[in-house]
Structure 1
Amino acid sequence: MRSTVESVGAAEQEAPVDRTCYRCDRDVATEYYFRLSATPRSATRDRFRPVTRTCCPDCVAALGLLEFDERWLDAIDRR
């Protein structure tokens, strides 16, 4: 599984993008949503298909796929 942060580009402005988190059904601002993609390996391709879902940062973190950047944590510690 991989995750990429989507950015607003010309193609996205032309075609509507579903920004609803597939787990919690919240609408997520374009600059904050993640695209989670899973591609089955050859041994499981007969049972599963590739999928891509829109997900909010809270749900990505709940899945254990999001960690805080050390620079951000250091900035919080200095406050």
Structure 2
Amino acid sequence: MTRVESPLSPDLIAKFVERTALECSGLPEDIAKAVQFLASDDSGLITDKILSASGGYQLSRALRDRMSLF
């Protein structure tokens, strides 16, 4: 596989990873698995949804926002 260089600095990537619920960055294979699932019969009843393969970034952000209220 060809490695793709990110235009983002390693420090910025590390900060993003820290803000994900799973505290890891995704790989192309992770996205491929999500696509494979959506293309399979197992996803037959799923309609009109957005699958976010973000490692929990949205969840982590929502929790931080909620915790800042206290």
- TM class by shorter-chain length? under 0.3
Q: Which has more helix, going by share of residues?
A: 2
Q: Which has more strand, going by share of residues?
A: 1
Q: Which has the higher contact order (CA 8 A, sep 6+)?
A: 2
TM-score under structure 2 length normalisation = 0.26
